[in-house]
């Protein structure tokens, strides 16, 4: 008799599944009605034929071109004002704001308004995870710059013991994450929403990894010199602009019809040539200015001049053994900076590999049956629509710079570690180092 009572009624089970399914469907309907995730393009309709830009109605085509051009110019001007006016601190804030908007656009795709209303505290975890992630990755990227500032007090109030932020950053980050993890477990109160909550947990973590973790490499790049932030960004912008222009006027052969039906081979090839030429000319132009090539430490707006690294110093082509073999004699006296040689590889990556970030985003949008990630930028869509290629380009810049250009400054790294030690620990290190030098015969 007791075993019969424990046995679950199949009808009740089916009723519960039906209720959960209807609740999920109503949540999707209300989500669409509230504007959270409204499909703008029916990709599932097989009869829908995609019209290439070159074949679109002229009035619609030129109106779209005008809107896109205006907002492109506005974004470029705003970007340059931040780079030249606020330098590295302003660029850090810019990257942070863009990360927050992109994260918000992705979270909105999976957001179910009705379900979230039944768990009003759960949505706060989205913001919490983002802040914890940025605290960790920014702390790691900006550690050398935090060390030159004192954050003992904020607005005159005692905040932290000197050096404790730098010393215990990893421990603080872990404690914050554990707090979020425990809060998530406590939020599991309605069984019918467990699947949704765990889906959101996984989705948010993947979004943070792909957006915040990867794009934070831009932060490390810019402090090595603004040229390592401005130039790679400009390559993506130029490639995107000229791909649109060549596709607008001459694009007739679809590149990847299943993912991005409006992108064409004509636009792809034309953008490649334009990006390579831009990389050679613009890199030489920017290498003339110390503000672009000098690395900076700290968050000061005052510029500190330096002696430009050899990579930015022009030299005749005949001094480059590899290049001079393939260049006619008449051009061997042309002055070329090594940065121009490196930027050709950047341009190749920006033209051939980085667009796959856009193709990936296109496939992602098709999975959710939307045309754009948002509508914050007229003619372009959302911020994610414009930054999908920039993210992978920032990571490439970091990898290329640290592997093929930068020579590790081991002395500075060791000195930073020694400065974190106590006086007793420093004395022990000094005595051991002295014994090593005596045993090697360097010191008598």
pLDDT digits (tens, 9 = 90+) for 362-380: 888 888 888 888 888 888 8
pLDDT bracket for residue 303 (50, 70, 90) = confident
Integer angstrom CA distances of residue 175 from 158, 180, 207, 274, 382: 21, 9, 21, 49, 34
pLDDT bracket for residue 413 (50, 70, 90) = low
Q: What is the dihedral of CA 324, 325, 329, 332, to 10 degrees?
A: 0
Rounded Cα gap, residues 390 and 384, in angstroms: 10
In this prediction, residues 425-440 reach a mean pLDDT of: 85
| Beta bridge pairs of residue 154 | 157
| Residue 285 DSSP SS3 | helix
Range of lowest pLDDT (234-248, 319-333, 410-424): 410-424
Segment 220-246, tens digit of pLDDT: 999 999 999 999 999 999 999 999 999
| Residue 201 DSSP SS3 | helix
| Residue 263 DSSP SS3 | strand
Q: Which residues of 126-144 are buried (b: 16+ CB within 10 A; e: fewer)?
A: bebbbebbbebbbbebbee
pLDDT bracket for residue 113 (50, 70, 90) = confident
pLDDT at 25 over 60: no
pLDDT at 299: 87
Q: Which tops the pLDDT comparison, 298 or 205?
A: 205
In this prediction, residues 293-305 reach a mean pLDDT of: 87
pLDDT at 26: 45
Tokens of 296: 């900076």
Within 8 A by CB and 6+ apart from 49, the residues are: none
Rounded Cα gap, residues 286 and 231, in angstroms: 8
Helix or strand run (H / E) with residue 380: none
pTM higher than 0.95? no
Rounded Cα gap, residues 347 and 234, in angstroms: 10
pLDDT at 194: 92
pLDDT bracket for residue 4 (50, 70, 90) = very low
Range of lowest pLDDT (233-242, 398-407, 416-425): 416-425
Q: Which tops the pLDDT comparison, 404 or 413?
A: 404
pLDDT at 389: 92
Rounded Cα gap, residues 108 and 37, in angstroms: 7
Q: What is the dihedral of CA 156, 161, 165, 170, to 10 degrees?
A: -140
| Beta bridge pairs of residue 260 | 256
Q: Nearest 5 degrees, angle CA 96-CA 348-CA 234?
A: 40
pLDDT at 261 over 50: yes
Rounded Cα gap, residues 31 and 412, in angstroms: 53
Rounded Cα gap, residues 90 and 135, in angstroms: 17
pLDDT at 28: 42
Segment 70-92, tens digit of pLDDT: 999 999 999 999 999 999 999 99
pLDDT at 164 over 70: no
């Amino acid at each position: 008799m007791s075993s019969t009572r424990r046995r679950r009624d199949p009808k009740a089970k089916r009723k519960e599944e039906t209720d959960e399914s209807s609740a999920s469907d109503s949540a999707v309907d209300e989500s669409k009605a509230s504007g959270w995730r409204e499909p703008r393009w029916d990709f599932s309709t097989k009869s829908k034929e995609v019209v290439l830009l070159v074949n679109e109605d002229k009035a619609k085509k030129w109106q779209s071109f005008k809107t896109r051009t205006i907002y492109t110019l506005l974004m470029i001007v705003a970007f340059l004002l931040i780079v030249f006016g606020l330098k590295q601190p302003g660029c850090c804030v810019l990257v942070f704001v863009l990360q927050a908007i992109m994260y918000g656009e992705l979270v909105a795709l999976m957001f179910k308004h009705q379900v979230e209303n039944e768990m009003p505290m759960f949505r706060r975890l989205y913001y919490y995870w983002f802040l914890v992630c940025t605290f960790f990755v920014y702390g790691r990227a900006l550690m050398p710059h935090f060390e030159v500032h004192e954050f003992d007090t904020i607005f005159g109030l005692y905040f932290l013991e000197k050096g404790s932020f730098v010393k215990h950053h990893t421990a603080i980050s872990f404690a914050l994450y554990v707090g979020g993890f425990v809060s998530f477990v406590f939020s599991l109160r309605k069984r019918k929403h467990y699947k949704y909550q765990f889906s959101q947990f996984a989705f948010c973590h993947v979004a943070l990894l792909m957006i915040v973790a990867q794009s934070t490499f831009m932060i490390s790049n810019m402090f090595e010199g603004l040229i390592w932030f401005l130039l790679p960004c400009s390559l993506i912008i130029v490639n995107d602009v000229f791909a649109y222009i060549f596709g607008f006027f001459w694009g007739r052969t679809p590149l990847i019809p299943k993912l991005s039906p409006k992108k064409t081979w004509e636009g792809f090839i034309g953008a490649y040539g334009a990006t390579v030429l831009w990389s050679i000319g613009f890199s030489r132009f920017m290498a003339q200015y110390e503000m672009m090539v000098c690395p900076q430490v700290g968050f000061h707006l005052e510029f500190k001049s330096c002696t430009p690294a050899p990579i930015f110093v022009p030299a005749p082509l005949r001094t480059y053994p590899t290049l001079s073999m393939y260049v006619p004699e008449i051009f061997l006296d042309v002055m070329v900076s090594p940065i121009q040689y490196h930027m050709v590889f950047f341009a190749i990556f920006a033209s051939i590999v980085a667009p796959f970030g856009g193709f990936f985003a296109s496939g992602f949008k098709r999975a959710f049956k939307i045309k754009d990630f948002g509508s914050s930028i007229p003619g372009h869509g959302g911020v994610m629509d414009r930054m999908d290629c920039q993210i992978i380009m920032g990571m490439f810049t970091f990898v290329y710079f640290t592997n093929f250009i930068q020579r590790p400054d081991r002395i500075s790294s060791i000195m930073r570690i020694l400065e974190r030690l106590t006086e007793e620990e420093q004395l022990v290190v000094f005595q051991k180092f002295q014994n090593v030098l005596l045993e090697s015969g360097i010191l008598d």
